[in-house]
Structure 1
């Protein structure tokens, strides 16, 4: 039996792999069920009622604003004038756009607007599962002594570890692609029956497809990191401990950046890099700066973290960890 076939069989037969996949399906199923029952198809009658209600509220608010204006003008020159703005300037005047009829309608799943969030949910869930499965796949081999026995059969360290990793990543890519396709189909059905597929053009599908590819990249990176960290520590717990340690380090860096008065301390948080990668950008504001404008108030300095920068940063980190695991596999004693 070839090494790749043996590793594939071992991966599929592992009980932990099956349990994690079952957990993934349960979480995704709960998300689908929650979306289905919390949305409904909006009828033309409901749209008309919502528009009428929005117009009624606008007219009521407009009348109230006019009465306030009259009271303010009548109070000028009296003791009651202190209760109103000087010269009655700055009193709120409602505008039609303040009463959007959409806010008066029941929740309805708009595919083009809401499905990107569902892609991010799928990517995060699969990335967490990939990290756990990858860490356990190689960590259990080290902990049980299976890696040493395997190297007696195939005394080629890098080939054994590399084959194990590529088999796992190939399996991970296949599962992610299949689940993403099913995910898109399920939410297309939800949009057809409990929402709307308006604006679903070829351009929208292209944008959704590219976001799905970025989600696939995140899942693969998470799986590779889990595998490499567990291989470095020769135990599944090493990967989990390293993940907790990195989380604590992130918090510490964020706090120190704030204390040091550095601009954009949020830019040092890894989850925001993941957000920028999926949604193409993340804008960070420097709340210690204020360029005051009489028309728009404080305008804070901003920094835009783009998906290209986020992707390059995450790829470099993943390659460093994977490369280090391969180097230690070659250099360290196996016993």
Structure 2
């Protein structure tokens, strides 16, 4: 007579309540938090993200210089070359064009450059969050540990909601800490290699708004990755589907409405993280690139969030349905 053994994951204290009933929600949260933090994606992120933020912030000290003498000299040389070329090829010139138009300021100007740097950091974390959500939601399906978890917590919607909430909250928390770490590094670069002029209340209000929107955006994208993993029940397949789904969004929405044709994820992320309320088309010189879609259709941050939700909600609804209404196996 043989018995079949079932591998039970190590999640700390027992996940069932005394008497064999479902565990209290607080105990379920603690167990699931330990499980999520024990994944390889969480361990790698905990090690690399702080180092990445530190390296990115300190790179501003290396890429900028407070001494503008050499930059002015190069601007004069470029202007003289421009004048010589115009004379040689008999090109019309504008008297208003001076050497100032050829000057590339080597200083780190906090007032103008910090918005783009914070946007760069949050965009990178958003991509990481999708992957983190996929591993957080798909690992237990790939290893079939979900069979044991669903036995300990038979209320599948509560299990799904708890896991999704933890993944989202962790992604948002990491983003909040990363942004809070980056800003002092940028201030250091501005103080030693540039200028902190213009950092008034309006500046900090706009930067804080961009920071808060970025935290929410990263949480939503982590939830999208988690939902994709639960829906597909395979980590590798979810990664492929996520790439194809997000990369082909412009084709999915094309022709569905007067503005939906530009609702691809690059443009939506740019719109959410844009420090300006909107960039009217007639004031833009954008020709190509990730942000052009949001520029060309005058997307606001609210439009960006609506677009992200259009990507998220159908996948989330299908993931909830499959997680709670279909067999686990």
The TM-score range, normalised by the shorter chain, is 0.7 to 0.9
Q: Deviations over 1:101-135 (max 9, x none)?
A: 78165x11111111111111111121122111111
Q: Deviations over 1:148-179 (max 9, x none)?
A: 10111111100011111112222222222111
User: Which has the larger displacement, 133-142 or 305-314?
Assistant: 305-314
Runs of 5+ consecutive residues of structure 1 not aligned to the other structure = 72-82, 85-89, 286-301
- CA separation in 2, counterparts of 1:13 and 1:152? 21
2:266 corresponds to: 271
SS of aligned partner of 1:305: coil
Q: How does 1:147-296 map to 2 (within 5 A)?
A: 147-247=146-246, 249-250=248-249, 267-279=262-274, 280-281=277-278
Q: 1:63 Cα shift?
A: 10
Q: 1:191 Cα shift?
A: 1.1
- CA separation in 2, counterparts of 1:14 and 1:32? 28
8 Å Cα contact 1:50-1:101 kept in structure 2: no
Q: Deviations over 1:226-285 (max 9, x none)?
A: 00000001121232111222255347569x87xxxx998972432112111211446669
- CA separation in 2, counterparts of 1:98 and 1:263? 42
1:75 corresponds to: none
Q: How does 1:303-318 map to 2 (within 5 A)?
A: 303-318=297-312
TM-score with structure 1 length normalisation? 0.75
SS of aligned partner of 2:299: strand
1:99 corresponds to: 99
- CA separation in 2, counterparts of 1:168 and 1:314? 17
Runs of 5+ consecutive residues of structure 2 not aligned to the other structure = 1-12, 14-26, 283-295
Which one has a bigger Cα radius of gyration? 1
1:328 aligns with 2:329: no
8 Å Cα contact 1:50-1:104 kept in structure 2: yes
SS of aligned partner of 2:297: strand
Q: 1:53 to 1:216 in 2, by over 3 A?
A: closer
TM-score with structure 2 length normalisation? 0.76
8 Å Cα contact 1:229-1:238 kept in structure 2: no
- CA separation in 2, counterparts of 1:266 and 1:103? 38
- CA separation in 2, counterparts of 1:64 and 1:168? 59
8 Å Cα contact 1:11-1:17 kept in structure 2: yes
8 Å Cα contact 1:62-1:93 kept in structure 2: no
**CA RMSD in angstroms, aligned pairs only:** 3.4
Q: Give the length in aligned residue pairs.
A: 289
